[in-house]
Structure 1
Amino acid sequence: MFGTQNCTNAPTETNTDAGVAGAGVLLSFIITAGLSLLISVIIVMHEIRRQSEAKVIRKLLLSFSDQQIITGIGIQSVGLAKMETMVPYHFFIIWMLSLLSTATHISTLLALVNDFKRDWVLRWLRQFLMFINLVLSCVSGIFVLMSVMKNMAPTLPIACVWELPSHGSPSNAAISIAGTIAVIAGQCIFFGVGVLYLHIKARRWIRIIQITGLLVLVAIGVGAAIRVILLSQAFGTPSVPLSDTAEKDWSFGQLLPLLLLLLPLVSTIEIIRGEIKVPPPIVDGHMPLDDKQSSFRVSFQPNPFWGSQER
């Protein structure tokens, strides 16, 4: 036995898993990927037109990308840790979410390549996270591929793919197998191109790579999002009988991933205020002379509608 799971008697239905396929979790991945791809396209088009750098929007994109790649690695780790109880339905959703994560951080790499090149710490940290995401996604893809090839019962744990013999192939097996292999190979190719893109110094093909890469990544992101929406219980019709409708229900656990999307926006407001309006901090009791206004600068800024500098 591979583990303690029962691979002989397939139950008639399986339990829901809102932590993986809940409405809030799915929307969080889809919204983050959509915003990141949109911002990446805006930044690349901005640079093609040779306009001034959009520093704030670049930091916003970096925040969304960091959040997406960390949550992507996290949810894949959860799936592999629970493979003795998790059914192929939930495992496939996790794999689709990993594709959204891949599309997000690769598009960010294409848009912010110069930012990563200027700092070796950011560059190698990005490569390390990309590699971890790639390994987890390829392992998850192999499980999905094996479940299709063996035509495994949808209510059996995904870990049973290593124990069960093949039960024949479904009618769409060839398309599913070819598509799964193509996705795994595509992720490896994108990783290799991304690493090369980070280290190459020639800029001859940079615009072609950016535009072509973004078009492909947008297509991947849209395809993965549509697949998740149609397949999940939260928004579509699941491919396996589920014991309840918990994945449709909204709770704080489902609201939390959406609330976390506000953090990059709050950080953006703080960046804007910090770079445009707020003067550097000073030590209480020390009022340095302002060179431009030739007057003492105070440490309290009143609001523009009422109030005074004396509080």
Structure 2
Amino acid sequence: MVFGTPNCTVVPDQVPSDPGIAGAGVLLSSTITAGLALLMSGSLIIQEFWQSSLRKHDPNPSKIRRKLLNSYSDQQIIVGIGIQSVGLAQSDVLVPYHFFIIWMLSLLSMATHNATLLTLVRDFQRDKVLRWLRQFLMFVNLALSCTFGAFVLQSKARGLPNTLPIACSWAGGVHDNTGPNNNAAYGLDYFGTIITIVGNCIVFGLATWYLQSRLQRFYRSVQLCGLVLMGGIAIGATVRVFLLSQAFGTPDVKLADQGEKSWSFGQLLSMLMLILPVISAVEILRGEIAVAPPVQEDDKEMLYSGELDTNPMIINRV
């Protein structure tokens, strides 16, 4: 999937930085958003688990946290699809360093969205159209992630010089840097990439079952185990990006400048975008926006039967 003609004949000594991909503000914004969403997911799951164990029903669930979490989740899956689409469109100029950072940020957004899915699945199941729209976005995100993984895998297999565009990994006759293929670190990266691609497909299958299943067995166990898994993926992707980036770590390619460490307008704008979901939370707190409470345990079977639309007692509750 190459959208241009990459220059694969000359191997430069260094490449320019790209603060729009690996800038300090971009990385911090993505990390903070994911961290807040995971913390809210964990708090809501633990709260529901505690109330279920005590057989208590909360008549006034945390609407603000649920609204914020839903906003952050929607933002993350759209951002994940967006950055991967732009990354593929620029594969003829992006070097493996920037391409890999985009992939890790997309994995971070996927983990955040899946953690939210674990928490708010009953809310998502209210509307069939919105449920299938979310399913479609999940599939698009998986397809893009697998494509990214294929590019990274091919570049590792051919030992592509890290200053050449990632699209050169598919170009015939390009100079192969065969030396690093003998390095144990490259072998570990190669198999790690395969495991990541396979893991993404498995997680997508489980998430699809969880979103579409009418009878969710082991509901609480799936929530807790899934949240731990998504938290592990998010932490792993964050650590990998921070260690690799110029802004916070040591890049594996020589960059021509220090642009990814500077706080430009784009970096500050990324941080300011974190405020948007808070505005919705303030509107809810002020009573200007009504948010439906979560579907309770005894109501989930009625989502598909139609009784939820005809029973006035349940309509009042949801």
Common topology (TM > 0.5): yes
Deviates more, 1:165-174 or 1:263-272: 165-174
TM-score (norm 2): 0.83
Cα displacement (A) at 1:81: 0.8
Give the corresponding residue for 2:301: none
Give the corresponding residue for 1:6: 7
SS of equivalent residue, structure 1 residue 274: coil
Q: 1:265 aligned to 259, 268, 278, which one?
A: 278
Q: 1:100 aligned to 86, 94, 108, which one?
A: 108
> Which amino acid is the alignment partner of residue 10 of structure 2?
N
Give the corresponding residue for 1:293: none
SS of equivalent residue, structure 1 residue 242: coil
Structure 2 CA distance, aligned partners of 1:276 and 1:132?
Answer: 31
Q: State whether structure 2 residue 258 is matched by structure 1 residue 245.
A: yes
Give the corresponding residue for 2:21: 20
Give the corresponding residue for 2:295: none
Deviation per residue, 1:29-86 (Å, 9 max, x gap): 1111111111111111111112523222111100011111111111111111111010
Structure 1 CA distance, aligned partners of 2:193 and 2:279?
Answer: 38
RMSD of aligned alpha carbons: 1.6
Give the corresponding residue for 2:197: 184
Deviates more, 1:193-202 or 1:101-110: 193-202
> Which amino acid is the alignment partner of residue 31 of structure 1?
I
Structure 2 CA distance, aligned partners of 1:248 and 1:147?
Answer: 27
Structure 2 CA distance, aligned partners of 1:226 and 1:269?
Answer: 33
Give the corresponding residue for 1:218: 231
SS of equivalent residue, structure 1 residue 132: helix
Give the corresponding residue for 1:29: 30
Structure 2 CA distance, aligned partners of 1:276 and 1:196?
Answer: 32
Give the corresponding residue for 1:195: 208
Aligned pairs, number: 276
Structure 2 CA distance, aligned partners of 1:147 and 1:115?
Answer: 41
Q: 2:132 aligned to 124, 135, 142, which one?
A: 124
CA contact (8 A) 2:21 2:98 kept: yes
Deviation per residue, 1:244-302 (Å, 9 max, x gap): 1111111111111111110111110111111699xxxxxxxxxxxxxxxxxxxxxxxxx
Q: 1:255 to 1:181 in 2, by over 3 A?
A: same
Deviation per residue, 1:168-218 (Å, 9 max, x gap): 314123211211111111111111111111121223311111111111110
Structure 1 CA distance, aligned partners of 2:122 and 2:206?
Answer: 15
Structure 2 CA distance, aligned partners of 1:270 and 1:170?
Answer: 58
CA contact (8 A) 1:79 1:91 kept: yes
Structure 1 CA distance, aligned partners of 2:236 and 2:75?
Answer: 21
> Which amino acid is the alignment partner of residue 213 of structure 1?
G
Structure 1 CA distance, aligned partners of 2:18 and 2:90?
Answer: 11
Q: 1:65 aligned to 73, 76, 94, which one?
A: 73
Q: State whether structure 2 residue 181 is matched by structure 1 residue 173.
A: no
> Which amino acid is the alignment partner of residue 182 of structure 1?
I
> Which amino acid is the alignment partner of residue 60 of structure 1?
L
> Which amino acid is the alignment partner of residue 95 of structure 1?
W
Cα displacement (A) at 1:165: 6.3
Structure 2 CA distance, aligned partners of 1:133 and 1:65?
Answer: 13
Any residues of structure 2 matched to 1:73-88 within 5 Å, and which?
73-88=81-96
Report sequence identity in percent. Answer: 56
TM-score (norm 1): 0.85
Q: 1:86 to 1:43 in 2, by over 3 A?
A: same
Structure 2 CA distance, aligned partners of 1:241 and 1:56?
Answer: 45
> Which amino acid is the alignment partner of residue 245 of structure 1?
Q
CA contact (8 A) 1:151 1:170 kept: no
Unmatched segments (≥5 aa) in structure 2: 52-56, 291-318
SS of equivalent residue, structure 1 residue 118: coil
Unmatched segments (≥5 aa) in structure 1: 278-311
Structure 1 CA distance, aligned partners of 2:37 and 2:258?
Answer: 31
